[in-house]
Amino acid sequence: MSRRRVVITGLGCVSPVGNSVEETWNSVKNGKCGVTNITLFDSSRLPVKVAAEVKDFDITKYGIDSKATRKMARFSKFCLAASAQAISDSGYTPEALKAEKMGVMVGNCLGGIEATEAGFNKFCDPSAGPDRLPPLTTPLMISNEAAANVNIYYGFQGLSWTINTACASGTDSLGLASDLIRSGRADVMLAGGTEAAITEFSIATFVKLQALASKFNDNPEKASRPFDRDRDGFVMAEGSAMFILEEYEHAKARGAKIYAEVAGFGSSCDGYHITAPLPDGSGAAKAVQLALEDAGLAPSEIQYYNAHGTSTHANDSGESAMLKLALGEENARKLHISSTKSMTGHLVGAAGAIEALFCVKAINEGFIPPTINIENQDVEGGCDLDYTPNKGIACDVKVAASASLGFGGHNGCIIIKKFEN
């Protein structure tokens, strides 16, 4: 019996560089950066003044009743907007999708942290205290509420899971959703990731870890600079990317357009450190190798790799070493690589989802997006591969891969290939 194939039939996106798939992709193709000075809170107490915020977001533009979202946290609103786009793009109506054997799976890391922060401030305020806590603090702050709110809004009653593997959450969501379709437990999955963690407390916690870029407050667009010698940390970002994944024969029967095929998925854990990756990249290499095995592909068959590429010293050098280990040095040196985080910032739990979307678009349009802000490539620091510096290139992409490497040593890799009958 042949394995059930998983295809991508719908895409949706809200990001720091655009509030739709096409706007986001066009920005990334052209090297447009979404990093600006922080406007969502007063950053005067912090050494970090930059983030990649979603701009001019209006949920009614996606046909969503704003009254129904008043009791949703920001990360849930982004997820609902991206889901509405993906559903519409797939050719489904919500009513038709509700009748399918389907589920919802969302990757997220930090939940409604703005509600957590606001609630705790009230709790600690001597003039307020526990009795003045906002009554919806719990349902706004917990991570599962993005998936729950999508289901509640549309009346979906199938499987509903939230995946939290830190920065690997979006990748793992897509991989596990694909596995559910392969297994026959679902025919259709609405899957992806969402995040909205640009708050004073959230940024402060990452500052204490010395994880965020702080040297480019006066020039925000230069702050995210993966693989560059002068990188000094990642840039916090927000947004959501959601997909309609579908069993191939099912999609074919309803005449759906097919963007690409999910070919393979691999997951691993470093088992090493709560925040730092294994320096030799061996943990993440295992996830890539498992994804290749799952896809039945050789390392030489990957043309494009969307890097985790956070713009931290440990990640960028370790990920470069990982690619040589996972693919072999000769294949790694032939590979087209880019870190789109140089433009979008780091969407944390949504990062893997939006970067998988860029893989789909690279395949569909035959174009490798750039890594911007590479002014002095850190060759001496081990970043000696082809990261498509500063300008994208045309390329016939048949197979693309994206890996995500999260705190706690969580690693996920998804492989997407051009659809062929």
* Residues 373/252, Cβ–Cβ less than 8 Å: no
* Residues 142/111, Cβ–Cβ less than 8 Å: yes
CA distances from 192 to 18, 86, 313, 364 (A): 17, 10, 27, 19
Task: Give Rg (Cα) of the chain.
Answer: 20
Distance CA(183)–CA(188), nearest Å, equals: 12
Alpha-helix residue ranges (DSSP H) falling in 244-295: 248-253, 282-295
How does DSSP assign 281-299, residue by residue?
Answer: -HHHHHHHHHHHHHHT--G
CA angle 236, 309, 379 (to 5 degrees): 130
Beta bridge partners of 393: 368
From the list 13, 33, 109, 167, the catalytic residue is 167
Distance CA(316)–CA(228), nearest Å, equals: 9
Q: How far is CA 190 from the centre of its chain?
A: 15
Catalytic annotation present for 167: yes
Q: Evaluate the CA torsion angle 364, 308, 372, 393 in order and state its sign.
A: negative
* 264 contact partners, CB below 8 Å, separation of at least 6: 291, 292, 293, 294, 295, 296, 297, 413, 414, 415
- Residue 297: CB atoms within 10 A of its CB come to 17
> Among all residues, which ones are annotated catalytic?
167
